[in-house]
Amino acid sequence: MATHGSRVVVLGWLEDGKRLFSADDKFNIVIWRWDNLERVQEEEEEVDKVNKEGQEFTAVAWSSDDICATVVGDVVMYDVKTGKKMWGDAETHVSPVYCLEMSGDSKRVFTAAEDGTFAMWDSKTGDKLWECGEAWAKDGYDACWSNDGTRVFVSFGRGMGLWDGKTGNKSRLAARAGSCC
């Protein structure tokens, strides 16, 4: 059985479908082979350069070109090969971010914050493409992209909604508990 030195807080698949990643509460990211759950050593050495500031990961997403987007309350984008921060700081959202999803083409990053705001970012430049949200949607986020990259499905608390991935326009919103519409 594969193990970490500490409690794993985030995990996911890399885009190539052959590797997985995990991040622990001691700020380490490890790359694993899917077929035997062995560490991929050359990748691990590169990944160890990420997040030297020692903040806790709350979400991690990986793009097809091995650019790692991490969330540590704020959105920060790192180049895994160099370990350098590409963009991101406290200006990304007003409140802490706990949901992050990379688009299938790795060009956009969706984020959802504790205050009910959602935002879409250019993954290379950090430019905010749009921002919206639901004032009452303040907890329990999860999100996923449609296969064609046109829509983002978001769940929050007891509600959920579908947003246009390019414009941020709300497509549909399922009523939250206690709501009439």
Write down the domain spans for the chain: 8-137
Q: What is the 3-state secondary structure (H, E, C) of the chain?
A: CCCCCCCEEEEEECCCCCEEEEEECCCCEEEEECCCCCECHHHHHHHCCCCCCCCCCCEEEECCCCEEEEECECEEEEECCCCEEEECCCCCCCCCEEEEEECCCCCEEEEEECCCEEEEEECCCCCEEEEEECCCCCCCCEEEECCCCCEEEEEECCEEEEEECCCCCEEEEECCCCCCC
Q: Which residues of 37-52 are buried (b: 16+ CB within 10 A; e: fewer)?
A: eeebeebeebbeebbe
Give the confidence band of 120 by pLDDT, cuts at 50, 70, 90.
Answer: very high
Please state, in angstroms and rounded to a whole number, the distance separating the CA atoms of residues 78 and 124: 10
Q: Which CATH architecture describes the domain 8-137?
A: 7 Propeller (2.130)
pLDDT, position 52: 54
Give the confidence band of 108 by pLDDT, cuts at 50, 70, 90.
Answer: very high
Q: What percent of the chain has pLDDT over 70?
A: 71
Stronger pLDDT, 140 or 97, i.e. the higher one: 97
Q: For 148-174, what is the mean pLDDT?
A: 83
**Is the whole model's pTM more than 0.85, yes or no?**
no
